[in-house]
Amino acid sequence: MPEGDSYVHAAYAARPILLDEEIVAVEGSAPSIRRYSSRIVGSTVGEVRTYGKHLFVDLDSGYSVHVHLAMNGTLRVRSSGPVRPGPARLVLVTEQGIVTVSGTKDVEADRTPALDARVLEPLGPDLIADEFDWTDFERRARKAGPDISVADFLLDQRVMAGVGNVYKNEVAFLERLNPMQSIGTLEFERLRAMAERSRTLLRANRRPGKRVTTGDWRRSLWVYGREGRPCRRCGTTIRQTWFGAPEPRVTYWCPRCQPAD
């Protein structure tokens, strides 16, 4: 499941193919990729950057390509070979290889300032970045309604950018918070602690390899995907439900470590 660390990994994989290289061909079914293909082909890639759960390819033409992998999107890199026909939303070709994005509708091209304004301005600070704006986080967190659940607070990209469903479950467990509990029952320091924990886990998983939240790659996650199995901390059976608004998401928790308040 693509989360903030997934985008860092994708950018790391794409840079050897794209960075400082000229785009010699572009394909894909995304409408704006077709519309601005003349602005993309012949341009040189100046930067491949990420912010939360978003990836940008910045071009010296003043345009950028934006990718959001959503739930099931993938970014793949090949060092050589033909541009294969298929359902890809985006195919970028340089002399170094081919980058293909598929499985997501959220691919677009536009002028860089327009993309940044449309995509980035609504988002909270990027948890995985080297610098995190705690003042902005506090302002946004205090505006969140008191009835919002811990689970939905963690997933709200307008408060902090980068947490997806795996980290939602893992952070709630590590902070000993029931994911269905409303944040109005918590002191603000508990909200800040969730952000600090999210930042720690995401940044620890910037390196390539298996996502680990436990510190042990042999048993990498605390609760996510472990319904019916014993809690790694207390032995209680992990439970699962579908919960959240506006779209319910699969949620795992330990009833003993994360009791309902």
From the candidate CATH numbers 1.10.10.10, 1.25.40.10, 1.10.220.110, 1.10.8.50, the one assigned to the domain spanning 134-253 = 1.10.8.50
Q: pLDDT by residue (tens digit) across 34-92? A: 999 999 999 999 999 999 999 999 999 999 999 999 989 999 999 877 766 567 999 99
Strand partners, 74: 102
The helix/strand/coil state of 50 is: strand
Q: Answer for the pair 179, 149: CB distance below 8 angstroms, yes or no.
A: yes
For residues 57 and 117, give the distance between their C-alpha atoms in angstroms, rounded to a whole number. 15
Q: What single letter denotes the amino acid at residue 120?
A: L
* Residue 2 designated active-site: yes
The helix/strand/coil state of 79 is: coil
Q: pLDDT by residue (tens digit) across 241-259? A: 999 988 899 999 999 999 9
Catalytic residue among 53, 108, 170, 175: 53
Q: pLDDT by residue (tens digit) across 126-173? A: 999 999 999 999 999 999 999 999 999 999 999 999 999 999 999 999
Phi, psi of 80, deg, nearest 5: -165, 175
Alpha-carbon torsion, ordered 57, 32, 117, 136, to 10 deg: -60
Catalytic residue among 3, 21, 108, 175: 3
Q: Is 215 exposed, middle or buried (0-12, 13-18, 19+ CB in 10 A)?
A: exposed
| Residue extent(s) of CATH 3.20.190.10 domains in the chain | 4-120
Res 252: pLDDT: 98
* Residue 105 designated active-site: no
* Residue 82 designated active-site: no
CA angle 88, 23, 54 (to 5 degrees): 55
Considering only the top CATH level, what class is 4-120? Answer: alpha beta
Q: 27-63 b/e with 16+ CB inside 10 Å = b?
A: bbebebbeebeebbbebebbbbebbbbbbbbbbebeb
Q: 78-105 b/e with 16+ CB inside 10 Å = b?
A: eeeeeeeeeebbbbbbbebbbbbbbebe
| pTM listed for this prediction | 0.94
| Residue extent(s) of CATH 1.10.8.50 domains in the chain | 134-253
